[in-house]
Amino acid sequence: MSDNELEEEISEVNDEKRIESKRVFINYVDTYNGKNLAKYLSKCVVGASLEGGEEEAANEEEGAANTDNKKDNTYNIYATIKNPEDYKQPEFVKEIIKAQNKEELLEQLMECDVIIYDIMHEPDQVDEACWAISTLNSQVERIDKPKIFILLSTVMTWAKTKPADPEDPDLPFTEEDFRRRKAHPNYKDHLAAEKTVIKFGKSNKKKLSTYVICAGLLYGQEENIFHYLFKAAWHNNDLNLYGNGKNSLPTMHINDLAAIIQNIADSRPKVRYIVAVDDSKSTLKQITRAISKNLGNGKVKPVAKEDALLNKEIPQSDFDMITLDLKMDAAYIKENMQIKWNSENGLVENIPKIIKEYKTTRNLIPFKVCILGPPGVGKSTIAQQLAQHYKIHHIHIKDVINQAIENLNKFAKRTENEAEKVNDDADGDGEQEEEEEEEEEEQPDLSELDAINENMESNNGRLDDQYVIKFFKERLMSKACQNQGFILDGFPKTREQAQALFEPDEQDEEAEEDTNGDEDAPKFNKSITPEIIIKLDASDEFLCKRIMNLPEKLVQDTHNTEEGLTRRLSEYRELNVEDNSVINVFEEDFALDVIKINPETLEEDKSFLHKNLVEMIKSENMKEPRNYGLSAAEKAELKRIELEQRLIKERHEKEERERLEAEEAIERVKKQTEWNEKLEQIKKEEIEYLETQSVPLRKYLMTHVMPTLTKGLIECCKIKPEDPIDYLAEYLFKNNPQVD
Tens-digit pLDDT profile for residues 665-698: 999 999 999 999 999 999 999 888 888 888 888 8
Q: How confident is the model at residue 514 (pLDDT cuts 50, 70, 90)?
A: very low
Prediction pTM value: 0.78
- Residue 214: predicted pLDDT: 94
730 pLDDT exceeds 90? no
- Residue 191: predicted pLDDT: 93
The rounded percent of the chain whose pLDDT value lies above 90 is 39
Q: How confident is the model at residue 20 (pLDDT cuts 50, 70, 90)?
A: confident
Which whole number is the average pLDDT over 361-379?
90
Cα Rg, the chain, nearest whole Å: 44
What 3 state SS string does 475-515 have?
A: HHCCHHHHHCEEEEECCCCCHHHHHHHHCCCHHHHHHHHHH
Which whole number is the average pLDDT over 524-543?
88
Which has the closest alpha carbon to 488: 536, 537, 533? Answer: 533
Least confident interval from 34-43, 453-462, 516-525 = 516-525
Which has the closest alpha carbon to 374: 571, 537, 548? Answer: 537
Taking the C-alpha atoms of residue 33 and residue 401, their distance in angstroms, rounded to an integer, is 47
Q: What is the mean pLDDT of the chain?
A: 83
Q: Report whether 575 contacts 494 (CB < 8 A).
A: yes
Cis peptide before 492 (omega within 30 of 0): yes
Which whole number is the average pLDDT over 548-574?
74
Higher pLDDT, 671 or 429: 671
Q: What is the tens place of the pLDDT at every residue in 378-396?
A: 888 899 999 988 889 999 9
Least confident interval from 65-69, 309-313, 330-334, 610-614 = 65-69
Which has the closest alpha carbon to 51: 250, 252, 340? Answer: 340
Reduced to 3 states, what is the DSSP secondary structure of residue 339? coil
- Residue 675: predicted pLDDT: 93
66 pLDDT exceeds 90? no
- Residue 130: predicted pLDDT: 93
Q: Report whether 34 contacts 40 (CB < 8 A).
A: no
Domain 20-221+250-279+326-341: state its class.
alpha beta
Measured between alpha carbons, how far is residue 529 from residues 227, 614, 651 in Å?
A: 29, 22, 51
565 pLDDT exceeds 90? no
Q: What are phi and psi of 367, to 5 degrees?
A: -100, 110
Q: How far is CA 284 from the centre of its chain?
A: 26
Least confident interval from 54-68, 99-113, 186-200 = 54-68
Taking the C-alpha atoms of residue 83 and residue 599, their distance in angstroms, rounded to an integer, is 48
- Residue 588: predicted pLDDT: 87
3 pLDDT exceeds 70? no
Least confident interval from 194-208, 415-429, 624-638, 641-655 = 415-429
**Matching CATH topology for 20-221+250-279+326-341 and 367-419+448-621?**
yes
Q: How confident is the model at residue 114 (pLDDT cuts 50, 70, 90)?
A: very high
In sign, the C-alpha dihedral spanning 241, 245, 247, 251 is: positive
496 pLDDT exceeds 50? yes
Q: Domain 367-419+448-621 is classified in which CATH homologous superfamily?
A: P-loop containing nucleotide triphosphate hydrolases (3.40.50.300)
Q: What is the tens place of the pLDDT at every residue in 195-246?
A: 999 998 887 878 899 999 999 999 999 999 999 999 999 999 999 998 889 9
3-state helix, strand, coil in the chain (%, to 5): 55, 10, 35
Higher pLDDT, 495 or 70: 495
**Secondary element (H or E) of residue 59:** helix 56-59
Higher pLDDT, 273 or 463: 273
Higher pLDDT, 515 or 591: 591
Length of the chain: 740
Which whole number is the average pLDDT over 639-662?
92
- State the Cα angle at 398 between 397 and 403, rounded to 5°: 100
Q: What is the tens place of the pLDDT at every residue in 266-300?
A: 889 989 999 999 999 899 999 999 999 999 999 99
Reduced to 3 states, what is the DSSP secondary structure of residue 626? coil
Q: How confident is the model at residue 56 (pLDDT cuts 50, 70, 90)?
A: very low
For the chain, give every domain's residue range. Answer: 20-221+250-279+326-341, 367-419+448-621, 632-734
The rounded percent of the chain whose pLDDT value lies above 70 is 85
- Residue 48: predicted pLDDT: 83
Least confident interval from 56-65, 416-425, 439-448, 518-527 = 56-65
Taking the C-alpha atoms of residue 624 and residue 618, their distance in angstroms, rounded to an integer, is 8
- Residue 692: predicted pLDDT: 86
Number of other residues whose CB lies within 10 A of the CB of residue 264 = 22
- State the Cα angle at 311 between 308 and 315, rounded to 5°: 80
Q: What are phi and psi of 448, to 5 degrees?
A: -80, -15
